Amino acid sequence: MLEVNQVSKTYKKDKVALHNINLQLKPGIIGLLGPNGAGKSTFMRIAATISQPSEGNMTWDGIDISKRPDELRRTLGYLPQDFGVYPHLTPLEFLEYAAALKGIGGRNVIARILELLELLNLQEVRKRPIGSFSGGMRQRIGIAQALLNDPQLLIIDEPTVGLDPEERVRFRSLLTDLSGERVIIFSTHIVSDIEATADQIVMLSKGKLLTQADPEQLLRSIQSKVWSVVIQEQQLPEARAKWTISGTIRREDGLQLRIVSDLQPDAQATQLAPNLEDAYLYVRTTREGA
Ligand code: ADP
């Protein structure tokens, strides 16, 4: 288990990127959700022992990862956002190189690489230069290198950036295949990335923890707080000023708004079944200023 105890991170010029974060992350898929600049990469870099917290600590199975980083590194897989590949190498060559850098050697290394190429559906292209690959294929190479040591903690920073819709779907099912006894943390600013995959959702904004909950809990928390109101197009600016709107649909009789509100926003408003997008908006509007 990864335990995060009162972690803060301040960069130069007093830029506070994380503020007093407390979390317990157990095996499962954890979606770290927040807008750009929320502190997601900072959090992941600390968890991956690349960076140090300014205050507080993180422990892995009770051991402080800043004091004894090697204990975690042995069982850590990390895919940073700006992961670079060598375009002239083939997947096979690249993974051999990555294994050597990580000090993974011995007879079994080729067997492990072949196993990963199979798992990530790269076996057919294993002898083609990586430079010719799509974003999704490159990302799978990145995940393969992160899995070389069969990690118990897998950290993936913004994995869906640059992927097309089909690759996104494939990535989500890959995450599910990889889960089990591992702690898998991945970050995103897109709610639909976590909707069908995450066991736990951790929301960050402006360096603060907004909530940690499972998807059902989040949906329950906004049960009977999502409303439908139909307005005319010209009323939209006024509606935006008045209500928290999580979606609009154009209909024949006007514009249907999805409104997130504790109270019925309008006498004609009817209730809708909540989704995670509504929950995200609700949590942000109610807790961001706190
Ligand atoms: P996210 O991954 O959610 O987009 P980051 O962790 O990258 O957020 O950034 C959080 C905040 O910290 C942002 O305001 C960003 O500008 C700032 N920041 C990140 N890295 C540095 C750095 N090396 N030096 C100074 N400020 C930084």
For residue 136, the one-letter residue type is: G
The SS3 call for residue 62 is: coil
Is 187 part of a structural domain of the chain?
Answer: yes
**pLDDT of the residue at 233:** 92
Do 18 and 47 sit in the same domain of this protein?
yes
Do 36 and 159 sit in the same domain of this protein?
yes
Pairing between strand 28-33 and 200-205? Answer: parallel
CA atoms within 13 A on the CB side of 56: 19
For residue 65, the one-letter residue type is: I
Q: What angle do CA 22, 183, 205 make, to 5 degrees?
A: 40
For residue 162, the one-letter residue type is: G
Atom index in ligand 1 nearest the CA of residue 11 equals: 25
Do 230 and 256 sit in the same domain of this protein?
yes
Do 16 and 74 sit in the same domain of this protein?
yes
Do 261 and 125 sit in the same domain of this protein?
no
Interval 43-78: pLDDT, tens: 999 999 999 999 999 999 999 999 999 999 999 999
Contact 207, 254 (CB under 8 A): no
How many domains does the structure of the chain reveal? 2
Pocket test for ligand 1, best of 9, 10, 15, 36 (most atoms within 8 A of CB): 15
Do 127 and 209 sit in the same domain of this protein?
yes
Over 70: is that where the pLDDT of 289 sits? no
- The secondary structure of residue 163, as a DSSP letter, is -
**Residue 262 belongs to what domain range?**
224-273
Is 129 part of a structural domain of the chain?
Answer: yes
Q: Is 158 in the pocket of ligand 1 (CB under 6 A)?
A: no
Q: Is 37 in the pocket of ligand 1 (CB under 6 A)?
A: yes
- The secondary structure of residue 121, as a DSSP letter, is T
For residue 161, the domain's CATH number is 3.40.50.300
> Ligand 1 centroid to 122 CA: how many Å?
33
Is 128 part of a structural domain of the chain?
Answer: yes
Atom index in ligand 1 nearest the CA of residue 36 equals: 4
Over 90: is that where the pLDDT of 169 sits? no
